[in-house]
A and B are shown apart, each in its own frame.
Chain A
Amino acid sequence: AQKVTQAQTEISVVEKEDVTLDCVYETRDTTYYLFWYKQPPSGELVFLIRRNSFDEQNEISGRYSWNFQKSTSSFNFTITASQVVDSAVYFCALSDFNSGGSNYKLTFGKGTLLTVNP
Chain B
Amino acid sequence: EAGVAQSPRYKIIEKRQSVAFWCNPISGHATLYWYQQILGQGPKLLIQFQNNGVVDDSQLPKDRFSAERLKGVDSTLKIQPAKLEDSAVYLCASSPHDPETQYFGPGTRLLVL
Give the interface residue-count category, chain A: 20 to 34
Q: Which stretch, B42-50, B62-70, B78-86, touches the partner chain A? A: B42-50
State the Cβ distance, B61 to closest chain A Cβ, in Å: 18
Q: Which of B43, B58, B98, B109 sits near A45, CB closer than 8 Å?
A: B43
What 20 additional pairs, Cβ within 8 angstroms, besides A43-B89, A43-B109?
Answer: A37-B104, A44-B104, A45-B91, A46-B104, A47-B101, A47-B104, A50-B101, A91-B43, A101-B55, A101-B56, A103-B55, A103-B98, A104-B99, A106-B33, A106-B45, A106-B99, A108-B42, A108-B44, A110-B40, A111-B40
Q: What is the CA–CA distance of A101 and B55 in the complex, to the nearest angstrom?
A: 8
Seen from chain A, the residues whose Cβ lies within 8 Å of a Cβ on chain B are: 4, 33, 35, 37, 42-47, 50, 91, 93, 95, 98, 101-106, 108-111
Seen from chain B, the residues whose Cβ lies within 8 Å of a Cβ on chain A are: 33, 40-45, 48, 50, 55-56, 58, 89, 91, 93, 98-99, 101-107, 109
- Say whether, besides A50-B101, A103-B48, A104-B99, A44 and B58 are in contact (CB < 8 Å): no
